[in-house]
């Protein structure tokens, strides 16, 4: 009798708990919290989708505080001009960067010295890894990114980066842009002594060549 009584009480209490908990569960909704980040690149591309080949719709300057809406792979979702867009997560930080510009602490020599460390590493079409493989513009993009400069992953697009300088005024750390061969352009980083470091091909990998080993389109100065 006592056992039956306790069983009835247990069932009664369970029904009360269920009555109160079910409405709470059914009313719960998923909420995606926003958060703030600071831009660390001197000029961060805002892209239409999560790809380096996606259209650039705008730029954020270094130190800008932006509202983020989550991540997708290596990309962070932001809202720009009323639309959800994407920026590369590597160029965002939870702390505000120093007010000094990248150019004040970075020199062309530092860029060149950093770049030549990767000589001998593999070439990979579409790659941006300095150790596991990069193509020509992926290599230059990754090198400059180390110093806070945001370049597109395209040898043709990189022709518009920085400022133009003449061949006679080129300096260590400048971007050397080459004319197209069979519709394909090429870029490398000038390291002095009429030499350039670049990701040449699958057979050469990242290596050093004479700066004028092929027809030059122009020189761009990324580091002022």
Task: For the chain, give every domain's residue range.
Answer: 35-93, 102-221
Q: What is the pLDDT of residues 67-92, one digit of tens each?
A: 999 999 889 999 999 899 999 888 89
Phi and psi, residue 111, nearest 5°: -60, -45
pTM for this predicted structure: 0.57
Q: What pLDDT shows up at residue 19?
A: 45
Q: What pLDDT shows up at residue 55?
A: 80
Q: What pLDDT shows up at residue 4?
A: 53
The residues of the chain scoring below 50 in pLDDT are: 17-30, 100-104
Alpha-carbon gap, residue 139 to 117, rounded angstroms: 12
Q: Catalytic one among 45, 136, 161, 177?
A: 136
Q: Is 16 exposed, middle or buried (0-12, 13-18, 19+ CB in 10 A)?
A: exposed
Q: What pLDDT shows up at residue 71?
A: 92
Contact 138, 153 (CB under 8 A): yes
Q: What is the pLDDT of residues 167-190, one digit of tens each?
A: 999 999 999 999 999 888 999 999
Q: Catalytic one among 45, 161, 177, 198?
A: 198
Query: Within a 10 A sphere around the Cβ of 200, how many other Cβ atoms?
Result: 20
> Cα–Cα distances in Å, from 18 out to 7, 8, 10, 13, 120?
17, 15, 12, 9, 66
Q: Which residues contact 89 (CB under 8 A, 6 or more apart)?
A: 71, 74, 75, 76
Alpha-carbon gap, residue 186 to 197, rounded angstroms: 12
Is the alpha carbon torsion for 147, 152, 153, 156 positive or negative? negative
Q: Tell me if residue 14 falls in helix, strand or coil.
A: helix
Architecture per CATH, 102-221 = Alpha-Beta Complex (3.90)
The yes/no answer on whether domain 35-93 falls in CATH 2.30.30.40 is yes
Active site annotation includes 153: no
Q: Catalytic one among 45, 161, 186, 207?
A: 186
Active site annotation includes 186: yes
Task: Name the DSSP class of 166.
Answer: -
Q: What pLDDT shows up at residue 165?
A: 96
Active site annotation includes 207: no
Reduced DSSP (H G I as helix, E B as strand, rest coil) percent helix, strand, coil of the chain, to 5: 25, 35, 40
């Amino acid at each position: 009798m006592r056992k039956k009584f306790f069983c009835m009480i247990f069932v009664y209490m369970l029904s009360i708990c269920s009555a109160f908990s079910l409405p709470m569960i059914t009313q719960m909704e998923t909420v995606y919290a926003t958060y703030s980040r600071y831009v660390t690149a001197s000029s961060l591309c805002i892209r239409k989708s999560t790809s380096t080949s996606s259209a650039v719709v705008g730029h954020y300057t270094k130190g800008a505080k932006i509202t983020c809406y989550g991540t997708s792979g290596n990309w962070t979702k932001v809202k720009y001009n009323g639309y959800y867009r994407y920026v590369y997560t590597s160029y965002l930080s939870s702390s505000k960067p120093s007010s000094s510009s990248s150019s004040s602490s970075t020199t062309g020599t530092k860029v060149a010295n950093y770049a030549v460390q990767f000589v001998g590493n593999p070439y990979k079409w579409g790659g941006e890894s300095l150790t596991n493989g990069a193509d020509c513009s992926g290599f230059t993009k990754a090198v400059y990114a180390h110093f806070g400069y945001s370049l597109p992953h395209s040898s043709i697009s990189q022709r518009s980066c920085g400022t133009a300088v003449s061949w006679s005024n080129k300096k260590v750390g400048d971007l050397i842009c080459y004319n197209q061969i069979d519709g394909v352009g090429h870029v490398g980083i000038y390291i002095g002594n009429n030499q350039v470091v670049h990701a040449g091909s699958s057979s050469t990998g990242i290596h050093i060549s004479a700066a004028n080993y092929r027809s030059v389109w122009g020189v761009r100065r990324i580091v002022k």
